[in-house]
Amino acid sequence: MKKTLLIMALSCYASLTQASTAYGTLNNFDAVNDTGVETHGFEIEIDDVRSTSVTYTYDYNHYGHPVITEDLSDPLHPKTFVRYESKKTANGAYASYTAVPKGSFPVTNGHQCTNPSVNEGCEHFGVGYYGAGVVKYNWLIDDPLHPGTLIHGPAVQVGTPTWTYVPPAQAQPAQVIAVIPAPPAPIPPKKQYGKPSWVKVIKTKTHNNKDVALEELISDDKDGDGKDDWTNGEAAEVESEWYLLQTNSKGDNKKDELAAKKPDELKNGDEKVTRRYEFYKYKGSAKTIDGENGEAMCDEVAADDLHGVGVVDVTDAGGNSYPWDCSTEELIGDYTGAQMAGFAAEAPLGLIEHIEDGKVNKAYTDRTVVVGGNTPYVTEVTGNFPLGLEIDSATGVLSGTPTESGVFAFKVKATDKDNNVVSKDYTITIESIPPTITTAVLPDATELAAYSLQLIAEGGTEPYQWRINALPSGLSLSPSGLLSGIPDKGTAGVRSATFTVTDKALKTANKALTLKILAAPVKLGDIDGDGDIDIYDLKLIKLKFGQAVPANSVYDLNGDLKINIVDLRKAVKRCTKAKCLP
């Protein structure tokens, strides 16, 4: 069956399933680092969309390929996360960062966001996916309370457009309507409006059937045709100069989203539509913000692209109204980023650009490898493919848990129902996760008493090999991790030892553990303390005949504080060796 958008009007569903494949949406955006600190990554959250709906990711920035994960804690409202994150150096430092811009970031230098060789304070990210849901963006910053851990910085003021596809009907050609919502922003307590921002919409004048790839939705002109690549080879025009967007709980659609002035017609049915949305901070003073509900009242911009227009009534926190001249206010603040978006009613059969690396024994998030075309597919994998992973032939979805490490080169070939064929070579690395010693405490041992404990490790690749730097005499550690034996007399005390486990991939883990050995309990008649009462002990008792001894002496078996024949006879009865032989 044809893959279709999940964002179309429900009334269109029946006819759409018979129409050509719809891409979903392709979104590429520049984001300026306005956190005030160096950042070390970026996270995209797409609500109500599964990981298998993600088709492409944009990877040309300081962080490279993202990691895709899924949150299914609420089955009715899944969340998919596309996380770009700096790797760590051997000493634990961040290997990548995004600089703090020096002053206001100029819009004309937006193309520098796609060049990893420079670091001016912006990055370019992107994702393609089927479906529709709220999309949230956050820079990742180092946690000042827990250095070395990344947390969300402030929400990024860049919105994500949605597309509604209307199939052709009678003499009416197919249409697609683009809507840009206000960037998601928390609404302060007891208010009705969140943080305001400005958007400027720039669209292409005409549309063609040239395929548009995610990596081409950038603000650069890499193909040298004199037009930014996002325009798909066409001229661009400004559709709406300035529009104030502001999330709200008031049901104010005028502020909550901006719909295209008119639908984009797809007269041939196979045209591609591209748009650019530029976002700027709202710079108006607190006097322009309604004190009761948080609404920005100066929402028109003069011809100078800076100041407001007209006089508005503003209400303060006490409910008192006052007039405010917006022409005295500079409303347009710093540029925060731009969204370049594309839509195609027909998507050719394709394969994703990159399959992310993995780790042994760590499950992959289900990921679509084959996109577009007409399902079901026939997907073939040849070459060196990791054990534990599979690509479902009919759906083209990658899943599983790799059970071996290494570098794997393989080819994926997909054929769709219409006999279109694509193939691509991939190379992925499956890392071995170092093992971890999970045994936390060693139970106490006792001199001359049998001891046995199996040490436990997890992670890595079995089988494990164990070793130790030193052990008290009488104890030993087997290669499988069994600590056993009988501690010798005289080993009582607290001993510290370092245990080492090595997995099949030669990854190691070390852990220092403390073993307390208790002294052997006193045994009356065991004069020499070897754990037995035998002929040697009887000889020593005879040598003590007639002597007085202190209480609890091992010689005094009858407790009269004197050593005599009675003690010897009791010792004979307690002999542990037959006939008290040695």
What pLDDT is attached to residue 18? 28
Segment among 233-242, 290-299, 364-373, 507-516 with least mean pLDDT? 233-242
- Inform me whether the pLDDT recorded for 133 exceeds 90: no
Task: Identify the band that residue 108 occupies on the pLDDT scale cut at 50, 70 and 90.
Answer: low
Partner residues linked to 341 by β-bridges: 27, 275
User: What pLDDT, on a 0 to 100 scale, did the predictor assign at position 273?
Assistant: 87
Q: pLDDT confidence of 185, banded at 50, 70, 90?
A: confident
Question: Which tens digit of pLDDT belongs to each residue from 40-86?
Answer: 999 999 999 999 999 889 988 999 999 999 999 999 999 999 999 99
Residue 251, phi then psi, degrees to nearest 5: 75, 25
Same fold, 350-431 and 436-518: yes
More confident call, 59 vs 466? 466
If you write DSSP's letter for every residue of 399-429 in order, what string do you get?
EE---S-EEEEEEEEEE-TT--EEEEEEEEE
Q: Is residue 129 pLDDT above 90, yes or no?
A: no
- The per-type count for the chain, helices as H runs and strands as E runs, is 4, 36
The reported pLDDT for the residue numbered 477 is: 95
> Domain ranges in the chain?
10-283+331-344, 350-431, 436-518, 535-580
In angstroms, the CA 131 to CA 8 distance is 9
Confidence of residue 581 (pLDDT cuts 50, 70, 90): confident
Q: What is the pLDDT of residues 500-543, one digit of tens each?
A: 999 887 889 999 999 999 887 677 888 887 778 888 888 888 99
Angle of CA points 136, 142, 144, to nearest 5°: 120
Which CATH fold topology does 436-518 show? Answer: Immunoglobulin-like (2.60.40)
Q: 339 vs 164, 203, 261, 547, CA distance in Å? A: 18, 12, 18, 101
Residue-averaged pLDDT of the chain: 87
Would you give the end-to-end CA distance of the chain in angstroms? 89
pLDDT score of 4: 42
Q: What local confidence, expressed as pLDDT, does residue 11 receive?
A: 24
Question: Band of the pLDDT at 398, cuts 50, 70, 90?
Answer: very high
Better-scored residue on pLDDT, 150 or 254: 150
Question: Does the pLDDT at position 203 exceed 70?
Answer: yes
pLDDT of residue 387: 94
CATH number of 350-431: 2.60.40.10
What's the pLDDT tens digit per position in 338-353?
Answer: 999 888 777 788 899 8
Least confident span in 135-144, 226-235, 396-405, 451-460: 226-235
Tell me the per-residue pLDDT of 7-33, one tens digit each, with 9 for 90 and over: 322 222 222 222 233 345 788 899 999
Q: What percent of the chain has pLDDT over 70?
A: 95
